[in-house]
């Protein structure tokens, strides 16, 4: 019977083509005639104004705003709901029992995950939360309520004038939505823990379209599972985060010749293993090369969360004196984030691996990095860039998590800080996809093999830096996998977020 109503709807649309007043009308009406019925049900509903089709400017703008060029898949239509009620309505429409077949869909917030299909879909509907991008602050509770498609830069710009800050992303362009569901590392992490553990409440649209809250008291199992559990349980429509006093930071990026790598690694070992490490001192040590500035370099991003110039915490790094450039200064978080922000029109690969804080393993990463760089210099075309980041993952994150309801990252297993490594490759030419993707894979595989042979391997994989073939959910540990499976079954018994939302790391696949 519903097939008949689709046919009637199509006939009505055909009629309206003849009534179209101008080309835009004709274009959208034609798109209306031949979309999947999944788009038709949206267009035939109260969210019709929020649906955009191939060829339309809102559709083009949405695709253009994906961070990774490979991720610009072409959905049948994109729906851009403006409230949690509209998200709920969309979920109900796309999962309705009356449909000929259920609809495949994708969810995106900032669109920064560089995995094609994680935040977009070729044959289906993409729910783009674009318009849900505001931040409000409640002075009584000191809680900031942040909508999923806010970018961290806009969050900081809203909170700083109020004298408040949250532990969010380091780059201004990164989205709130995906970042907080994968863990989230901020410059404030050594002091206040992972960003997800600073969330006090998630508002989430469940598989049946219900709008629920998840916090320490209500739906507390869902609350825990959302902290690291990616898109397995629902669509989060609001993140309520703890705030703290906003102060200027001392921070910036210092660039050194590649020959200083060993000095940096030695300093990183001492910094990372120091039991009395200053909780204000965040640090990233990374190797980098770019066709724009074709010199092999080592960089240190120093970010101290108090307005203290050249704090002692970094003393050993300051002993390396031959820097090439230095942007460090006292500045607000929004300015630090602007320096880290980046929009790209390029193709991107992230991969990750973790290992113990060990000089030999660090040196091996540099040896393998050099092999990759030499290959790329010989074979890659166009514009490209590589960065390989070393960050200290601290056991203090566990203490800062447990008391606030815990997360699913399995950090309780670790009694010693470790290095979380990220390779970040970007390139302009689609024909070089295999070259970069395979070399990136060889790099992290090589590090993993070396660490395993030396006994310095660490199972944990950071979800927000993981590549499609990596399995960060299993790497949280078997107990966390079981917990997430139970939570998914409880809140989504028919498996909507497993089968109809195929993007992301799925708990049903591990
Ligand atoms: C330039 C750059 C800088 C970065 N800096 C940092 C950093 O400092 N620290 C750090 O920890 N990470 C960082 N990252 C990684 C970042 O955390 C991830 O890319 C993250 O997924 C970005 O979130 P998003 O909302 O932009 O992503 P999206 O691509 O929109 O979403 C990511 C995943 O989450 C799902 N998802 C998104 N929103 C929702 C929602 N509301 N409900 C349910 N599921 C949802 C999507 O379906 C997708 O699978 C950085 C990435 C880039 C590209
Ligand atoms: C269109 O909407 C009307 C009213 O909500 C509904 O009765 C009808 O079944 C819908 N048609 C389709 C094809 O979804
Ligand atoms: C075409 O029609 C649309 C929708 O009716 C309208 O928004 C738009 O302004 C029109 N464009 C022109 C050029 O008349
Ligand atoms: C959208 O992009 C397509 C393909 O690049 C192009 O043909 C079309 O004109 C664009 N539409 C608008 C409204 O800019
Ligand atoms: C939210 O999105 C709208 C529409 O794209 C944009 O005009 C506005 O500047 C955005 N606001 C923030 C805080 O990013
Ligand atoms: C970088 O070099 C400049 C010039 O020698 C120096 O003033 C600055 O302190 C150095 N930066 C760091 C972080 O050591
Ligand atoms: C985080 O944990 C440390 C101990 O590791 C503690 O000193 C600090 O107060 C905690 N901070 C928060 C915000 O829980």
- Mean of per-residue pLDDT scores for the chain: 94
Per-residue pLDDT of 407-423, as tens digits, reads 999 999 999 999 999 99
Q: Is the CB of 40 under 6 A from ligand 2?
A: yes
Atom of ligand 6 nearest to the CA of 300: 13
Q: Is the CB of 109 under 6 A from ligand 5?
A: no
Give dist(CA 6, CA 424) in Å, integer.
46
Cβ-based neighbours of 483, under 8 Å, separated by 6 or more: 221, 224, 225, 408
Q: Is the CB of 475 under 6 A from ligand 6?
A: no
Q: Does residue 419 contact residue 355 with C-beta atoms inside 8 Å?
A: yes
Q: Is the CB of 22 under 6 A from ligand 3?
A: yes
Q: Is the CB of 49 under 6 A from ligand 3?
A: no
Q: Is the CB of 154 under 6 A from ligand 5?
A: yes
Atom of ligand 5 nearest to the CA of 154: 13
Q: Whose CA is nearest to atom 29 of ligand 1?
A: 111
Ligand 2 centroid–CA 97 distance in Å is 13
Ligand 6 centroid–CA 321 distance in Å is 6
Three-state DSSP class for residue 291: coil
Per-residue pLDDT of 384-400, as tens digits, reads 999 999 999 999 999 99
Q: Does residue 292 contact residue 203 with C-beta atoms inside 8 Å?
A: no
Banded pLDDT at 28 (limits 50, 70, 90) = low
Per-residue pLDDT of 200-240, as tens digits, reads 999 999 999 999 999 999 999 999 999 999 999 999 999 99
461-470 mean pLDDT: 98
Ligand 6 centroid–CA 387 distance in Å is 22
Per-residue pLDDT of 124-140, as tens digits, reads 999 999 999 999 999 99
Give dist(CA 98, CA 350) in Å, integer.
40
Among 399, 403, 416, 417, the mutation site with the greatest number of ligand 7 atoms within 8 A of its Cβ is 399
Q: Whose CA is nearest to atom 13 of ligand 3?
A: 22
Q: Whose CA is nearest to atom 3 of ligand 2?
A: 44
Q: Does residue 395 contact residue 414 with C-beta atoms inside 8 Å?
A: yes
Ligand 7 centroid–CA 402 distance in Å is 11
Q: Which ligand is the nearest neighbour of the Cα of 61?
A: 4
pLDDT of residue 452 exceeding 80: yes
Q: Which ligand is the nearest neighbour of the Cα of 284?
A: 1
Residues in a beta bridge with 419: 355, 392
Ligand 5 centroid–CA 152 distance in Å is 12
Beta strand residue intervals within 305-346, DSSP E? 325-326, 329-331
Ligand 3 centroid–CA 43 distance in Å is 18
Q: Is the CB of 236 under 6 A from ligand 1?
A: yes
Ligand 4 centroid–CA 54 distance in Å is 8
Per-residue pLDDT of 429-449, as tens digits, reads 999 999 999 999 999 999 999
Q: What is the pLDDT of residue 401?
A: 97
Q: Is the CB of 219 under 6 A from ligand 5?
A: no
């Amino acid at each position: 019977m519903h097939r008949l109503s689709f046919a009637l709807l199509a006939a009505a649309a055909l009629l309206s083509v003849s009534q179209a007043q101008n080309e835009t009308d004709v274009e959208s009406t034609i798109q209306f005639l031949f979309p999947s019925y999944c788009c038709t049900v949206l267009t035939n509903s109260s969210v019709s104004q929020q649906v955009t089709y191939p060829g339309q400017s809102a559709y083009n703008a949405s695709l253009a705003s994906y961070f990774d060029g490979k991720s610009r898949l072409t959905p049948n239509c994109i729906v851009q709901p403006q409230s949690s009620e509209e998200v709920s309505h969309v979920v109900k429409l796309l999962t309705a029992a009356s449909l000929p077949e259920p609809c495949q869909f994708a969810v995106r917030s900032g669109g920064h995950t560089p995995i094609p299909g994680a935040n977009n879909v070729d044959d289906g509907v993409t729910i783009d939360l674009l318009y849900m991008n505001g931040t409000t602050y409640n002075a009584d509770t000191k809680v900031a309520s942040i909508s999923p498609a806010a970018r961290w830069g806009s969050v900081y710009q809203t909170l700083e004038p109020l004298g408040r800050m949250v532990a969010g992303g380091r780059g201004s362009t990164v989205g709130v939505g995906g970042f907080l569901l994968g863990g989230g590392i901020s410059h404030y992490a050594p002091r206040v823990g992972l960003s997800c553990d600073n969330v006090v409440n998630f508002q989430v649209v469940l598989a049946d379209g219900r709008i629920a809250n998840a916090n320490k008291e209500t739906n507390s199992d869902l609350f825990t599972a959302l902290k690291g559990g990616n898109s397995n349980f629902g669509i989060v429509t609001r993140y309520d985060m703890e705030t703290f006093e906003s102060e200027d930071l001392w921070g910036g990026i210092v660039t050194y010749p590649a020959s200083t790598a060993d000095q940096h690694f030695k300093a990183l070992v001492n910094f990372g293993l120091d039991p009395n490490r200053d909780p204000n001192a965040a640090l990233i040590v990374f190797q980098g090369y770019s066709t724009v500035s074709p010199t092999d370099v080592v960089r240190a991003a120093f970010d101290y969360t108090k307005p203290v110039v050249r704090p002692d915490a970094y003393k050993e790094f300051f002993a390396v004196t031959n820097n090439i450039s230095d942007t460090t200064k006292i500045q607000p978080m929004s300015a630090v984030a602007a320096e880290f922000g980046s929009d790209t029109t390029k193709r991107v690969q992230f991969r990750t691996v973790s290992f113990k804080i060990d000089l030999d393993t660090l040196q091996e990463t540099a040896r393998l990095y050099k092999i990759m760089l030499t290959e790329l210099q010989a074979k890659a075309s166009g514009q490209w860039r590589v960065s390989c980041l070393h960050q200290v993952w601290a056991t203090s994150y566990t203490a800062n998590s447990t008391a606030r309801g815990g997360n699913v990252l399995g950090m309780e297993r670790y009694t010693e800080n470790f290095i979380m490594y990220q390779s970040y490759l970007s390139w302009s030419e689609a024909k070089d996809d295999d070259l970069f993707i395979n070399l990136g894979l060889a790099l992290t595989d090589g590090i993993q093999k070396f660490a395993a042979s030396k006994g310095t391997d660490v199972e944990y994989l950071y979800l927000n830096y993981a590549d499609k073939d990596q399995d960060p959910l299993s790497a949280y540990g078997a107990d966390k996998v079981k917990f997430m499976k139970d939570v998914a079954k409880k809140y989504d018994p028919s498996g909507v977020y497993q089968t109809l939302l195929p993007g992301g790391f799925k708990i049903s696949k591990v």
